[in-house]
Chains A and B, each alone.
Chain A
Amino acid sequence: QKEVEQDPGPLSVPEGAIVSLNCTYSNSAFQYFMWYRQYSRKGPELLMYTYSSGNKEDGRFTAQVDKSSKYISLFIRDSQPSDSATYLCAMSAGTGNQFYFGTGTSLTVIP
């Protein structure tokens, strides 16, 4: 079983839609959770960083962590064509410098 599972998509939505991206994980020691946006041929850009459970909002983006279900989500409101990218989830227990990544979900927002 992989440490982190992420549906690769691809996901295609119309402009203005609410997008939900999800990851599940198996290691209950994970306490740091991140979402990255990666455009083609570019490095991943850190979008959201959450410690432990709960919600975090930043503009159109909301990250949710449910540690009891080992499930994290990223919501994008009022999606824009510029949101078209691959979204990676990542997590860490905070020790040993080990980060675990999902394989990424490809998102296309259609104008």
Chain B
Amino acid sequence: DGGITQSPKYLFRKEGQNVTLSCEQNLNHDAMYWYRQDPGQGLRLIYYSQIVNDFQKGDIAEGYSVSREKKESFPLTVTSAQKNPTAFYLCASSIATNTGELFFGEGSRLTVL
């Protein structure tokens, strides 16, 4: 089945540690996105990538980094510079830039201890 796979589903981190969230898609989509979801705040865009080896900052990129070395993969690193990293992180993809259909993975819950 085609889809978006995020791992791990749950992750605990100590303060000062970097963690990397994995996102893999087999939908052959060009565009990939990372969102952060907090209660009552909706989805906020962290980074997005339209093509391999290119990515753009979203609304809340500070303290995060990404790479797009393969079309299928768009990992997100939450660095120690992110002041409030505890959140639900969602990876998404869309087939192209001129269409509105956006598909999501199952999410990764990061908790900082």
Contact = CB atoms under 8 A, between A and B. Distances in A.
A51 B99 CA distance: 9
A104 B43 CA distance: 10
Nearest to B30: A97
A90 B92 CA distance: 13
Given A97-B50, A103-B40, A49 B100 contact: yes
B97 A96 contact: yes
Contacts, number: 64
B41 A103 contact: yes
Contacts of B97: 94-97
A60 interface: no
Contact of A44 (B6, B33, B104): B104
Which has the most chain A C-beta neighbours within 10 Å: B50, B100, B101?
A: B100
Interface residues of A, number: 28
- Dominant secondary structure at the B interface: strand
B109 interface: yes
B42 A103 contact: yes
Given A41-B109, A43-B107, A97 B100 contact: no
Given A8-B40, A97-B31, A41 B99 contact: no
Nearest to A45: B104
A31 B102 contact: no
Contacts of B4: 43
Interface of B: 4, 6, 31, 33, 40-43, 45, 48, 50, 56, 88, 90, 94, 97-107, 109
Interface of A: 8, 31-34, 36, 41-46, 49, 51, 88, 90-92, 94-99, 101-104
